[in-house]
Amino acid sequence: MKMIKTPAILEVIGYSGSGKTTLIEKLIPALRKRGIRLAVIKHTSHHHELDKPGKDSHRLRQAGAEAVMVSSPRMVALFREVENEWSIKRLLRHLPRHVDLVIAEGFRNPEYPCIEVYRRGVSPDLKCRDTRKLLAVVGDDPGALAAPRFHRDAVRAITEFLLKNLFVKPSLHKKEENGILCIQ
């Protein structure tokens, strides 16, 4: 029987405008170079219409479809109304099974380790100073900090720190073809 590996989960939190997405955008290629396959779940606390009004998928939902899945040769998207916000655990069920790491941006779940992006003038204080599994802070020094702090451009050091502290290891039987990491 083949065992399915559960990915490590890292939350990246911080106030809007602190640089969360920019940091993740820099970490992805650094982690990929180390053989880590990853997925990102981005949270928003605002109600956005993710589907575009006027597009066929939106029109079909407006007509009464409970869910519309859009499929192309290279991408799949699911548009579905939900009564309650989905947990990270539930969202994980919709991700590829072969990822080593899931970065969850903008959630507030005390179950998972997190790094916080802190920017003076944007962040009034740390969101997870005392109540969460704070691994590190990236950005300006918020003061009175027990966790390590990294400069926002120290991508290599942050990558090494995450690999060590999250115990993330690349999946076995992988090779790179045409710049794409493949499971064999």
Q: What is the pLDDT of residue 183?
A: 45
Q: Which CATH superfamily is domain 8-46+86-183 in?
A: P-loop containing nucleotide triphosphate hydrolases (3.40.50.300)
* pLDDT tens, per residue, the chain with 184 residues: 555 578 999 999 999 999 999 999 999 999 999 999 999 998 877 665 666 788 888 888 888 888 888 888 888 888 788 888 888 888 888 888 889 999 999 887 778 999 999 999 998 888 877 666 889 999 988 888 888 999 999 999 999 999 999 887 776 544 555 555 544 4
Tokens linked to 18? 């602190």
Dihedral angle of Cα 119, 139, 29, 47, to the nearest 10 degrees: -30
Q: What is the pLDDT of residue 22?
A: 95
Neighbours of 119 (CB within 10 A): 17
State how far the Cα of 81 lies from the Cα of 61, in Å rounded to an integer: 9
Neighbours of 168 (CB within 10 A): 19
Domain residue extents for the chain: 8-46+86-183
